[in-house]
Structure 1
Amino acid sequence: MTVMQRLRGLALAGAVLLPAGAASAEPVKFEFWYGLTGDLSERIQEMCQTFNASQDQYQAVCTSQGDYEAALQNAIAAFRADQQPTVLQVFDGGTADLMLSGAFVPAGELMSRAGYEVIWDDYFKGIADYYAISKGELYSFPFNSSTAVLYWNKDAFARIGRTEAPKTYEEVEAAARALKEAGYACPYAYDVDPWQFMEQFSAVHDLPIATRNNGYDGLDAELVVNRTRFVDHVAFFKRMTDEGLFQLKEYGQARLQSFMKGECMMMQSSIADHGTVGKTIAPGTDWGVALLPVWEGTERKNSFVGGASLWALAGHSDEEYAAAAAFFAFLAKPEQAEWWSTVTGYIPVTNSGYEYMQDKGFYDEPPFAGREVAIESLTYTPPTANSRGIRLGGYPQIRKEFRDALTGILAGSTGVQEGLDAAVERGNAILRRFEKTYAGKTLP
């Protein structure tokens, strides 16, 4: 029996472990708050409806809170009024804040209490390690997971005599120059979202973002990204932008739209955008995705996972926790992983889900071909201290500091080193405030 079959059987078996009399009572309702909007919010609603229709003991009440940060802040406010949801979607950057809050029921405890056995080793290591505590235990369930990849217009590359995506940034520059000479006004579109622009670059190049193993080893970590090769990388993007070979697309979905409209020929973006590109780009356009480029001479490492995980929050009844456990078991089914990947572009988070989809030929279908590149990227190597993840308190605010700084650098309002030094100084101030708030505590 494969790991996938075992997990599938356990999830189905667990679904019938209900309190006595539950079948004849009104369904136990529980709230699930999430931070997605638009089409992704509609897919969450569809997922919740499917769960509710699959049994009559529990009912998920699923509500969008806007974006990730709003979901987290709204949950904090709800705690003060004792109105917090049972399940909360928390994005990657908020993990340290949740771990130290103590305002949750660990995933393992939740599931064992409800009678479920979870095969924790089934989760992709590159995903699990990002969210796991020092002992490897997961306090939350990885949910919508992605990583960054390079999107490229194969038709445009054919016009310059190239049939493969650039593997290095030296090749990116050469391709950009050839595309410009061929009449393409925008060879490469980008924005400076730190998750894509700074964090993924650091991971695949095995560069630290902060001391103390990116914060995993202590709250006294300090940012060091202004002292790594990332400085030269920013300088490269500044030079290419000044030459008109790269274009900064900084607002909303400008970068994504520029690629889908055929205005820009390359972009770095989340694999979660794969479905949107496929549905929106002009019919007949030949395009694809590839691993992120690295600088020549780099020994590539795995990339970071992005997205969010699901937490069971403290302060609820046993019945609500049983409902949440049943919901998590439902999400763990390989069939559900296939559906979620089909309608969103997010990747499966378990080996069993991936094997199930491979066995069905999912990645051979034209709409989905290429999404396996994200799995390759996340599992390229075993995670190192630098490519495991980021465990820094107040990280949402730190990301904003870097985004503002990078925008200023690329716009020419400040120098590269000067701008990064200032962002690090402000980021370290955030870390020190966080450390003071949790004085005497250590990360689990």
Structure 2
Amino acid sequence: MKRLILLATAATAIASGAGAAERTKFEFWYGLTGDLGEVVQKHCQLFNQSQDKYEAVCTGQGGYDKAEQNTIAAYRAKQQPTVVQIYDAGTVNFMLSGAIYPASKFAKDYDIDIDWKAYFPGIANYYATSAGEMWSFPYNSSSAVFYWNKDAWAKIGKNEAPKTWAEFGEDLKALKAAGVECGFAFNFDTWMDLEQFSATNNIPIATLDNGYGGLGAELVINKTAFVDHMKDFKAWLDAGYAKIQTPQVGKNLVQAFADGTCASTTESIANHGTIKNTQVQGLNWGVAMLPVIDASKRTNSLVGGASLWVMQGKSKEEYEAAAAFLKYVTAPDTGEKYIAENTGYIPVTTKGFDLLKSSGFYDDPKYAGREVAIQSLTASDVGPLSRGIRLGNFTSIRSEIRAELEAAFTGQKDMQAAIDAAVDRSNQILRRYEQTYKGAALP
């Protein structure tokens, strides 16, 4: 009898092992790193544990840029993953790549019940075609917010964050007079300093509605209020009101704010959790929408983060596995709620937001303030200049602008001359991109 029990146990173990080995596997590549990358990896594990039919093999690529580059190279070698996480700047490249299984079609073909209208317009418009069809699945979304030290502002008799950039400039001057050594930490990040500034003030970055109108778009940032905005930043820097904070010259913006070095910064809401977890004891801080030029004319901010793209050229079985995964990680309860609870990212649909609100998520002091990013994304109806940016090789364009801003802020160039140079080189990038896709139309 004992021998029979042992044999039965062994048989069960073999059957179990065989069952596990028969799971249909598919590859998912992601770009997030560090703590956020660990959250993605855990999400994969939770999916794998939730059922016994499919297995997501999830591999970090070491950054958003690398995720995009590695996927393009892998596709050319016919070794692409089934699903990949691509950040906002890679949207155009993937739309025109011919390597994508559009999300709306994939969802229909593999029975993923998604209410596309439930996505916040500021998120949906960034990843949708001109016809409004979603070509990727929004996953981790964020927007820019203003982090401010309430105790520092109390020194100048104020208990509210500045609503306009002019008011902020006056506050910085008063903070310096009150003994605050660094009122504002900033760097050369174009997503923050250029893209969010332009969207929230309804200012163009490029012609043809920021590129949505076609590949012939050209940058115009050297002819907009962005130039004066950066001149203000330079004046604040020179007056000692603000400090540049990068790992090369000090620390990153999140660290500079969380440790009390600087009284304010503009950063992604995705960093809310990091600030909460790393702040110096007693730091009394809050979250507000970004200052704008005219508070009565505020328009919506832009979405940041990334979405999930399905690649062409995989088997029916892999697509079925990927569909099960996408259902899991985009659902309000197993997807949006998980991401929001474990990062600073925001829910991407009204259903996800309502679920979090009803659960008391935003009433918890640990998460208080994260709803500000939703308020910012929905501050107005999405318009031609606040829907997003659709420029080819936008990662390279960001690099050109960032390099020129650094040159201006470090005194190597005049601000106008620096931005002129950035526009000139960026437009060359756009013309090369247009030539590469000659005759192609944006979907």
- TM-score grouping bracket, smaller chain normalisation: over 0.9
Which residue in the other structure is 1:19 paired with? none
Question: 1: CA distance between counterparts of 2:427 and 2:33?
Answer: 32
2:182–2:241: 8 Å Cα contact kept in structure 1?
Answer: yes
Which one has a bigger Cα radius of gyration? 2
Over 3 Å counting, the alpha-carbon distance change for 1:161 and 1:24 in structure 2 is: closer
TM-superposed CA distance for 1:116, in Å, is: 2.4
2:251 pairs with 1:251: no
Question: 2: CA distance between counterparts of 1:131 and 1:107?
Answer: 10
**SS in structure 2 of the partner of residue 127 of structure 1:** helix
Which residue in the other structure is 1:266 paired with? 264
Unmatched tracts of structure 1, length 5 or more: 1-21
**SS in structure 1 of the partner of residue 158 of structure 2:** coil
Question: Which residue identity lines up with residue 99 of structure 1 in the other structure?
Answer: M
Question: 2: CA distance between counterparts of 1:227 and 1:277?
Answer: 36
TM-superposed CA distance for 1:24, in Å, is: 8.8
Question: Which residue identity lines up with residue 374 of structure 2 in the other structure?
Answer: I
Which residue in the other structure is 1:8 paired with? none
**SS in structure 2 of the partner of residue 61 of structure 1:** strand
1:88–1:310: 8 Å Cα contact kept in structure 2?
Answer: yes
Unmatched tracts of structure 2, length 5 or more: 1-17
Aligned pairs (5 A) from 1:278-427:
278-296=276-294, 299-336=297-334, 337-427=336-426
Question: 1: CA distance between counterparts of 2:270 and 2:441?
Answer: 34
Over 3 Å counting, the alpha-carbon distance change for 1:127 and 1:23 in structure 2 is: farther
Over 3 Å counting, the alpha-carbon distance change for 1:24 and 1:292 in structure 2 is: closer
**SS in structure 2 of the partner of residue 102 of structure 1:** coil
2:26–2:318: 8 Å Cα contact kept in structure 1?
Answer: yes
Which residue in the other structure is 1:16 paired with? none
Question: Which residue identity lines up with residue 423 of structure 1 in the other structure?
Answer: A
Which residue in the other structure is 2:237 paired with? 241
Question: 2: CA distance between counterparts of 1:74 and 1:25?
Answer: 28
- % of aligned pairs identical? 52
Which residue in the other structure is 2:118 paired with? 122
1:211–1:222: 8 Å Cα contact kept in structure 2?
Answer: yes
Q: 1:87 aligns with which of 83, 98, 101?
A: 83
Q: 1:228 aligns with which of 202, 224, 229?
A: 224
Which residue in the other structure is 1:432 paired with? 431
Question: 2: CA distance between counterparts of 1:265 and 1:43?
Answer: 29
1:170–1:296: 8 Å Cα contact kept in structure 2?
Answer: no
TM-superposed CA distance for 1:23, in Å, is: 8.1
Question: 1: CA distance between counterparts of 2:109 and 2:20?
Answer: 22
1:106–1:138: 8 Å Cα contact kept in structure 2?
Answer: yes
**SS in structure 2 of the partner of residue 50 of structure 1:** helix
Please report the TM-score for the alignment, with normalisation by the length of structure 2. Answer: 0.93
1:205–1:298: 8 Å Cα contact kept in structure 2?
Answer: no
Which residue in the other structure is 2:163 paired with? 167
TM-superposed CA distance for 1:366, in Å, is: 0.3
Question: 2: CA distance between counterparts of 1:50 and 1:297?
Answer: 43
Which segment is superposed worse, 169-178 or 271-280? 169-178
**SS in structure 1 of the partner of residue 180 of structure 2:** coil
1:219-244, Cα deviation, whole Å (9 max, x unpaired): 00000011111011011111111101
Question: 1: CA distance between counterparts of 2:132 and 2:215?
Answer: 18
Question: 1: CA distance between counterparts of 2:294 and 2:301?
Answer: 17
1:250-301, Cα deviation, whole Å (9 max, x unpaired): 3375221111111100100000000000011023321011000012466110
1:153-199, Cα deviation, whole Å (9 max, x unpaired): 11211222211111111221122122212211111001121001100
1:126-146, Cα deviation, whole Å (9 max, x unpaired): 100011000000010111100
Q: 2:200 aligns with which of 201, 204, 214?
A: 204
TM-superposed CA distance for 1:117, in Å, is: 2.5
2:218–2:427: 8 Å Cα contact kept in structure 1?
Answer: yes
1:74-122, Cα deviation, whole Å (9 max, x unpaired): 1111112211100011110110000000101111221211122221101
Which segment is superposed worse, 170-179 or 274-283? 170-179
1:223–1:424: 8 Å Cα contact kept in structure 2?
Answer: yes
Cα RMSD of the aligned pairs, angstroms, is 1.4
**SS in structure 2 of the partner of residue 101 of structure 1:** coil
Please list every run of at least 4 consecutive aligned residues from structure 1 whose deviation after the TM superposition is greater than 6 angstroms: 22-25
Question: 2: CA distance between counterparts of 1:250 and 1:37?
Answer: 18
Which residue in the other structure is 1:9 paired with? none
Task: Give the number of aligned pairs.
Answer: 423
**SS in structure 2 of the partner of residue 186 of structure 1:** coil
Question: 2: CA distance between counterparts of 1:134 and 1:289?
Answer: 33
Which residue in the other structure is 2:61 paired with? 65
Which residue in the other structure is 1:153 paired with? 149
**SS in structure 2 of the partner of residue 136 of structure 1:** coil
Question: 2: CA distance between counterparts of 1:416 and 1:284?
Answer: 38
TM-superposed CA distance for 1:58, in Å, is: 0.8
